[in-house]
Amino acid sequence: MSPRSEQQTIAGLEPPAVAVVDVVVTGRVARVLPDVLGIDKEFDYLVPEGADVHVGDVVRVKLGARRVGGWITALDVEPVPGVKLIPLAKVSGRGPAPDLVELAGWAAWRWSGRRANFLRSATPPAVVRSLPAPSASPALAPGVDQSATPLFQRALALERGVLRLPPGADRYALVLAAVQAEGPVVGGHTLVLCPSVAEAQTLGRRLRRDGVRTAIVAHEAGGVAAAGEWARARAGAVVVGARAAAWAPVSRLGRVVVLDEHDEVYQEEASPTWHARDVVAERARRAGAPCLLVSPTPTLEALGWGDLVVPGRGEERAGWPRVEVIDQRELDPSLGPLFSPMLVNLVRGPGRILCILNRTGRARLLACTSCATLARCAVCEAAVAQADQAEPDSGDRPGQVDDLLCGRCGTRRPMVCLACGGARFKNLRLGVSKAREELEVLAGEPVVEVTGASVEQDSAVASARLLIGTEALLHRVARADAVAFLDFDQELLALRYRAGEQALGLLARAGRLVQRGTGDRGRILVQTRTPDHPALMAARHADPGRLVEGEQPLRVALGLPPAVAMAVVSGQAAPAFMADLGEPAGVVVQGPLEGAWRLRAPNHQVLCDALATVARPPGRLRVEVDPLGI
DNA sequence: CGGACAAGCTGA
DNA sequence: CAGCTTGTCCGG
């Protein structure tokens, strides 16, 4: 592990010919990293007499002609010779503890970011002058069931554990077991991450009700209250939060639990594209604390990182909903491609029903008109669209305008059905609004539409019996009796290498909605033309391992994460950056393709070390390590 | 990043 | 050569 050294020392430089008269430094010296992204460099300042300062504290300093904020990254250092030190302009308040200051350095290496970016996440949203006194370890309220199941005990005993917990399982019981479990760090506190702030708040409040001293760290809440939670966490408490809480203070990190580890919201979309799961895993490793990743559908990243614990077959099956797969190829086309007789039955029956249709724009989906088989890539099996341009393919064949082009691996082939040889295809692109109208007619009652953009009244959403919408609907609604995916091929065959994993993740999320509150297993209806897709097999059998079996070797064969470490470099300054980078040993450089370069290395050590050798050139540069949208 | 200052261009 | 723009360097 080699986070780049930020303090620049000028090696091999002769001492000045004229002796510099050493200014006798009487006070303490603080090294400060300014909170200015363009200056990823530290400066030394004098600590005012009698000031109470710590590494991580938030300060203001004069830098050149202006005053900027910053953090103390080191104290009592030997100042760079030859510069006249000036005092800190102000010590504003408490900031991240030294371990987080160091972790920010590691994250800057790992995701090619700047330390200030990460230190911002680790800093309270309002000034914290002093920390509340730490109180005794949590005492559970009477009547709280504190027995950990053998499954939880096994998972919590692991240093690096991955617990596969089905959608219907009681995760609160796991969290309760985790905060009480003895670990190698005596008196340590547990850090729990949830995908959303709302989930974190629900969890945190419940822990408090049960007598667990808990800090809910969420900067989104903003202001003084959030700073209070931050200070409480810093002083000592169980800490819960969403992605940003990966940088929450924990007075003494005893254990880490990440719920729904597979959820993509844990990764930052903007550069640096840091992943909360990976940050807390490293944090736990440094603290000598165990880390447990929990998910109904653990990612290949998690499975490659830790030891998997699974419930018994019966227990896992009971935690998944009934998944009914409807093969749309066998349907009477008169009802249209979206509404099978089973679906019509479902919406005419009782209960609250969600219909999901992800209408994610451009992705065209083609099906053979004679045998109804979907057009897929012959190499990597992703859905293919018609090519817009007649570029030649990798072989000698001259490319045609109507070729089938794979957006994932770039393979082209003539527009011929692989199953029956037919040359005619129909376009299966569909829209939510039109689907809503049709569904309303079929159901004979109102249907409410919910998309990410729509701002439907919560009351309208809460009271509706029939709802239709994009995937966002699964986040807007807490409970349902059944969820129907109208066109699941959009998920299964999406042009991202994680499509299969993400599709199974959606089924798991839907599974949680239909299981909550009801005693028996809820229902999930999936309409598809690829009923044998491993993600569907996995959900049907309540066995996510079935997806992993096929996915793992595919990633190795195609050179995709986590079999390799990958980065994408783009932006106006990318050519200069890539020129400086050259072709480092162990790194395969591909591109430029539409202004972006793709870098692959056997692991992050090689990849990130190579990226760290290059200084950021001026201008816009986006380095995405572990890119999402590939 | 943003201010300071130096080097380069224009017009008379 | 003043008056302005553009570029490069540096901050403690």
The answer on pLDDT for A348 being more than 60 is yes
Indicate the range of A38-42, A113-117, A330-334 predicted with least confidence. A330-334
- Cβ contact A579 with chain B strand, < 7 A: no
- Cβ contact A620 with chain B strand, < 7 A: no
Buried b (16+ CB within 10 A) or exposed e, A391-421: eebeeeeebeeebbbbbbbebbbebebbeee
This prediction's pTM: 0.85
Q: How far is CA A372 from the centre of its chain?
A: 36
- Cβ contact A36 with chain B strand, < 7 A: yes
pLDDT bin (cut points 50, 70, 90) of residue A148 is: confident
Closest nucleotide over all strands to A86 (CA to C1'): C12
Task: Give me the pLDDT at residue A11, please.
Answer: 34
Parallel/antiparallel/unpaired status of strands A384-386 and A404-406: antiparallel
Residue nearest to nucleotide B1 (CA to C1'): A38
CB distance A571 to A619 below 8 Å: yes
Q: What is the CA radius of gyration of chain A?
A: 27
Q: Report the distance from CA of residue A592 to the C1' of nucleotide B4 in Å, as an integer.
A: 38
The answer on pLDDT for A396 being more than 70 is no
Euclidean distance between CA atoms A105 and A101, whole angstroms: 7
Q: What angle do CA A291, A297, A301 make, to 5 degrees?
A: 55
Closest nucleotide over all strands to A32 (CA to C1'): C12
Average pLDDT over residues A413-437: 77
Residue A557 has φ and ψ, to the nearest 5°, of -65, -35
- Which positions on strand C lie below 7 Å from a protein C-beta? 10-12
**Higher-confidence residue: A366 or A69?**
A69
Q: Report the distance from CA of residue A582 to the C1' of nucleotide B4 in Å, as an integer.
A: 34
Residue A477 has φ and ψ, to the nearest 5°, of -115, 140
pLDDT bin (cut points 50, 70, 90) of residue A628 is: confident
pLDDT bin (cut points 50, 70, 90) of residue A360 is: very low
Average pLDDT over residues A35-55: 95
User: Helix, strand, coil proportions of chain A in percent (round to 5)?
Assistant: 30, 20, 50
Angle between helices A499-515 and A545-558 (to 10 degrees): 160
- Cβ contact A68 with chain B strand, < 7 A: no
Q: Is A24 exposed, middle or buried (0-12, 13-18, 19+ CB in 10 A)?
A: exposed
Q: What is the DSSP letter of A410?
A: -
Task: Give me the pLDDT at residue A532, please.
Answer: 95
* Chain segment A226-261, per-residue pLDDT in tens: 999 999 999 999 999 999 999 999 999 999 999 999
CB distance A630 to A568 below 8 Å: yes
Tokens of A626: 């572990």
Nearest to A525 by CA among A346, A337, A328, A359: A346
Euclidean distance between CA atoms A189 and A212, whole angstroms: 11
Place of tokens 């880390």: A291
Closest nucleotide over all strands to A36 (CA to C1'): B1
Residues 6+ apart with CB under 8 A from A361: none
Cβ-7 Å neighbors of strand C: A 7, 31, 38-39, 41-45, 61-64, 79-80, 83-86
Euclidean distance between CA atoms A202 and A199, whole angstroms: 5
Closest nucleotide over all strands to A84 (CA to C1'): C12
- Cβ contact A64 with chain B strand, < 7 A: yes
Nearest to A544 by CA among A535, A556, A553: A535
Task: Give me the pLDDT at residue A431, please.
Answer: 72
CB distance A483 to A354 below 8 Å: yes
The answer on pLDDT for A555 being more than 90 is yes
Closest nucleotide over all strands to A619 (CA to C1'): B1
Indicate the range of A148-152, A292-296, A458-462 predicted with least confidence. A458-462
Average pLDDT over residues A328-352: 84
- Distance in Å from the first CA to the final CA of chain A: 27
Place of tokens 């300062």: A53
